[in-house]
Structure 1
Amino acid sequence: MATSQCCANPPTLDPVYGKGMVVDNFGGLKTYISGALDFSKPAILLISDIFGFDAPILRAWADKLVESGYYVVVPDFLYGDPMPPNDFSQLSTWLQKHGPAKGFEDAKLVIQALKGKGVSAIGAAGFCWGAKVVVELAKSDDIKAAVLLHPAFVSVDDIKEVKVPISILGAEIDKTTPPEVIKQFEEILSTKPEVPSYVKIFAGVPHGWTIRYEVTDKAAVEKSEEAHKDLLNWLNKYVK
């Protein structure tokens, strides 16, 4: 992994940001929740990158999904200990405490909690670190559809095991999971006609472009909005 790029442009975290609310326990985790629970509504599990669930743009993505009829949960899979910003040297040590495998086990508990509340249709989307958690979920029937955004840690073998409709949104300028790897994922998915898939590489953007950018950068905002539209289209097609 290209650690410097993975950690680049960290967000300014804001625990009170968003139109939703934070609850202390949802499936065992502190969670940002957006939207009103309605058994007729599908739910979306959003899984953050290494900077955690307090990221304002991530929460804004959740709030926008609510406008399209979803109930959205953004759990704190990092237990209040996101990656320290601007200190790339700590990434390896941090990952020892916060490996995606633990995130996957926690995610299953969150999905159980959603199903326990009567929600039957659940989709999941993950950013960077969170994409690895989502691809693990996509190997089962726990979710209806998956979206990976500028994924990290995801392997060719992971993609071979995917069982649910999956969309992969990659970045052209990405040393973490470069375009040639994204294209390998696409080639594997093309051999699995039973698994609907959509793969797109966004031109001119770096790793993390969807939720880590300067809000005054009009071009960056437009690229993020394009990715959100792609994510929404996929979820509408396979989760609703």
Structure 2
Amino acid sequence: MSFPSACCNTPPVRATYTPTGERQTIGGIECYVSGSKDAKRGLIINYDIFGMHANVVQLCDILGTSGYHVVLPDLLGSNALTEADLGKHGVFSAFCKHAGSWAANKDKYIAMQEYMKDSGVESVGIIGFCWGGKMVVAALAELDGLVGGAIVHPALIESGDMAKANAPLLVLPSKDEPDFTDEFATLEGKPFFAQCSMVRFDDMFHGFCGARGDWSVPEQAKRANDAIELLVQFFGSVTSQ
């Protein structure tokens, strides 16, 4: 299990964005919440290794305008990685074993699900970027009540991970991720396979839709918007209105 080399060596973009949502504490976790609090459809967002980057906050706001109650938990807090950590194999290995492990984050996901339920949300989907993709496939395997998940330029995906999913999965790899054809094919026996989809962004790099995307570059902004459109379409098909 390893990160793509681009993940371990490419710094985040220094982006600025004025959020339209709000910060609040949920289950003891600092979160960014966006969209309509009256929405019956909800999305839990798992950021990449760089934490609460402006790009992922902006993405939450975009999804919020599409009719979702969106919550972005600060899962890593002070354990988010930084530019200074790039290229340090030991740091990334320790991250996977500790702060970035499913064991360290499972209860946080459950807390977000409980928040959604208490808020009146009837169907909840999850999205993960980079390392967050690993968390999403684990959540789809172990947690009840999730209607689907999407993994965007995912890292750490191992053979057999997708086969454990118990809800529809959208896979959006970049050119820096492995060929997931065989792994995705393990979903074919699932009753929900018709709702699963994989679209490769082979003209984009790892992180283009997260902290490494420079959305002031028109080509990158367009492809990020293409990915967001696929997310909206997917969750529109698996969540109730």
Q: Is 2:147–2:168's contact at 8 Å kept on the other side of the alignment?
A: yes
Q: Which whole-Å CA distance do the structure 2 matches of 1:94 and 1:227 have between them?
A: 27
Task: Provide the secondary structure at the position in 1 that maps to 2:122.
Answer: coil
Runs (4+) of structure 1 exceeding 6 A deviation are none
1:134 to 133, 136, 144: 136
Q: Is 2:44–2:125's contact at 8 Å kept on the other side of the alignment?
A: yes
2:62 to 61, 64, 69: 64
Q: Deviations for 1:59-114, whole angstroms, at most 9, x for unmatched residues? A: 11110111111110000000233101143213233444312311233111211222
- AA aligned opposite 1:92: S
Structure 2 unmatched ranges of 5 or more: none
The offset of 1:168, in angstroms, is 0.5
Relative to the length of structure 1, the TM-score reads: 0.88
Task: Provide the secondary structure at the position in 2 that maps to 1:216.
Answer: coil
Q: Is 1:10–1:86's contact at 8 Å kept on the other side of the alignment?
A: no
- Aligned twin of 2:146: 143
1:28-177 matches, within 5 Å, as: 28-38=28-38, 40-52=39-51, 54-88=52-86, 89=88, 90-101=91-102, 102-139=104-141, 140-172=143-175, 174=176, 177=177
Task: Provide the secondary structure at the position in 1 that maps to 2:165.
Answer: coil
What is the number of equivalent residue pairs in this alignment? 231
Task: Provide the secondary structure at the position in 2 that maps to 1:32.
Answer: strand
2:181 to 174, 180, 183: 183
Which structure would you say has the larger RCO, counting Cα contacts within 8 Å and 6 or more residues apart?
2
- AA aligned opposite 2:109: A
Identity %: 26
Q: Deviations for 1:101-158, whole angstroms, at most 9, x for unmatched residues? A: 1123311121122212322211110001111111112124321111011111222222
Q: Is 2:23–2:30's contact at 8 Å kept on the other side of the alignment?
A: yes
Task: Provide the secondary structure at the position in 1 that maps to 2:11.
Answer: coil
Pair 100,12 (structure 1): closer, same or farther in 2 beyond 3 Å: farther
The offset of 1:189, in angstroms, is 1.8
Q: Is 2:36–2:67's contact at 8 Å kept on the other side of the alignment?
A: no
